[in-house]
Structure 1
Amino acid sequence: MNLLEAAAVFAAGVAAGGINTVVGSGSLITFPTLVTLGFPPVVANVSNNIGLVPGSATGAYGYRAELEGQRGRLLRLGSASMLGALIGGLLLLGLPAEAFQVIVVALIALALVLVVVQPRLQAWVKRRREADGEGEHGPHGGPLLWIAVLLAGMYGGYFGAAQGIVLIAILGIALADDLQRVNAAKNVLSAIVNGSAAVLFITLSIVSDTVIDWWAVLMIALGSTVGGLLGAKVGRRIPPPVLRGVIVVVGLVAIVNLVR
């Protein structure tokens, strides 16, 4: 990786860290950047996942005020995120690389659809929450939410783009809580997913031939750390249509690079 490429990956990390904190889907910036620079898709995905862990942590820290009173909820749902991430990570490394290239195109397309429909999805979640009043499953969302978070963790451990949007949707539906507090919980659960998958990938790289590009990890980690802090402070000022437009364009570039 030369200096110009390192700068591009760092900048992508800043953008991804901020986007993940505010919305989710930051991997649709960093993953395509690595693929465009010539990284094999699985190596790009693994390196990207590890690099985004610090950004997830700083994003969660930035929402610490909204996390007050959610300790019990996050301990319960965090176990689902951790287990799901480990399953998804093992599927990523266990399936053939050719399968990943096919599956990830479908996942990126799904992520782009979620990015586009997010405003309507959030509006529906808000109406659903208001109609339910206190909600029907209590403060922790019940067993169905645990299962849904587990599946979201599997998705995040395997690829992860737009996992934040998926989490906001399912948490908002199941929990009677303010949307900012839901977003704060989303940031913690995303950090657990990324961190758990990262531990798995690093462990397997020591005992097997799992390939990690540590320069890419470093640049994304530095960038996402800055982006996570900025996203928690000023990210809400970015016009949502502009943000969604950038994500969609980058995601389409990724699909083109993967299928050609």
Structure 2
Amino acid sequence: MSPGYVLLIAVAGILGGAVNSIAGGGSLILFPAMLATGMSPLTANVTNSMATWPGYAGGVLGFRSELADQRNRLRPLMLAAILGSTIGCILLLVTPAAAFKWVVPPLILLAAALLAFQPTIKKFVGEPREGGRIWTVQFPATTAAAIYGGYFGAALGVIVLGVLAVTVPDTLRRLNALKGVVSFVGGTVSALIFGVFGPVNWTAVLIAAPAALVGGYLGARIARHVNETALRWSVVGLGIAIAVYLLIKGV
């Protein structure tokens, strides 16, 4: 791998890890960088999943104070992440991806809409109650999001944050910390499965993974100080941008 490609992947790893912690969607920085080095889409996708995992770990570390009193909320979310990510990874390895590329943009737009219209949605479904819709809404929706994450993963954080926003009564900043755990657990499952069965480019992983770890930690620290309204609309804008990008370029 040329020095230029090494620098490209390292910078993309830092930026992708930071964006994943702040809002989600960092894969849309690192995945194209992988493609630019000449990897096939499948190899780039699998390698991206392996490389971004440390970034999720860095994000969880950066959000540790926000997570300290949310442990009871984590159990069903972690179970959903494990189940969904396992299914998604298996689907990626055994089925063609051609049809799925048309499903990805609508999913991302739906997640952005959940955040954008959260106050209006609450008028119809009511304010989230602690533990009120865990197994009827949150668990199946998070499992579905994790299936998507195991299969492709770009903007997974946008989708998970949208689900949490209408099922958990808390600030967006603290929900962002929960989202980080879901991403980390799902990413761990993906790393284990793809590490054994996937066509991983390990050279790229060795470059991008440490960079993503640093970026994830820094992103979490930045997100703690971002205005909540600004955070909400930055996530919405990022989701729309990613969906348009995928519609135009495909995956």
With the length of structure 2 as denominator, give the TM-score of the two structures.
Answer: 0.85
SS at the partner of 1:135?
coil
Residue of structure 2 aligned with 1:216, choices 193, 204, 226: 204
Partner of 2:83: 83
CA contact (8 A) 2:66 2:174 kept: yes
Is 1:199 the counterpart of 2:192? The answer is yes
Partner of 2:2: 2
Is 1:105 the counterpart of 2:101? The answer is yes
Partner of 1:147: 140
Shift of 1:106: 2.5
How do 1:47-196 and structure 2 match up within 5 A? 47-95=47-95, 99-100=96-97, 102-103=98-99, 105-107=101-103, 109-110=105-106, 113=109, 118=112, 121-129=114-122, 135-136=128-129, 138=131, 141-196=134-189
CA distance in 2, matches of 1:254, 1:226: 31
CA contact (8 A) 1:135 1:175 kept: yes
Partner of 1:233: 221
* Paired AA for residue 60 in structure 1: V
CA distance in 1, matches of 2:235, 2:78: 32
CA distance in 2, matches of 1:76, 1:109: 26
CA contact (8 A) 1:139 1:176 kept: no
Shift of 1:123: 4.0
CA contact (8 A) 1:28 1:250 kept: no
Question: How much identity, in percent, do the aligned residues show?
Answer: 33
CA contact (8 A) 2:18 2:220 kept: yes
Question: More displaced, 50-59 or 225-234?
Answer: 225-234
Question: More displaced, 84-93 or 245-254?
Answer: 245-254
Question: More displaced, 161-170 or 242-251?
Answer: 242-251
CA distance in 2, matches of 1:127, 1:257: 32
CA contact (8 A) 2:165 2:172 kept: yes
SS at the partner of 1:52?
helix
Instruction: Report the RMSD for the aligned CA atoms in angstroms.
Output: 3.0
CA contact (8 A) 2:16 2:25 kept: yes
Partner of 2:13: 13
Partner of 1:38: 38
Q: Following TM superposition, where does structure 1 have runs of at least 4 consecutive aligned residues deviating by more than 4 angstroms?
A: 126-134, 237-247
Give the gaps of 5 or more residues in structure 2. Answer: none
CA distance in 2, matches of 1:71, 1:189: 12
* Paired AA for residue 215 in structure 2: G
CA contact (8 A) 2:55 2:212 kept: yes
CA distance in 2, matches of 1:163, 1:245: 12
CA contact (8 A) 1:51 1:224 kept: yes
* Paired AA for residue 89 in structure 2: G
CA distance in 2, matches of 1:212, 1:218: 11
CA contact (8 A) 1:35 1:257 kept: no
Question: More displaced, 85-94 or 132-141?
Answer: 132-141
CA distance in 1, matches of 2:250, 2:116: 34
Shift of 1:107: 4.9
Partner of 1:207: none
SS at the partner of 2:166?
helix
- Cα 1:174–1:136, aligned 2, differ >3 Å: closer, same or farther? same
CA contact (8 A) 2:109 2:239 kept: no
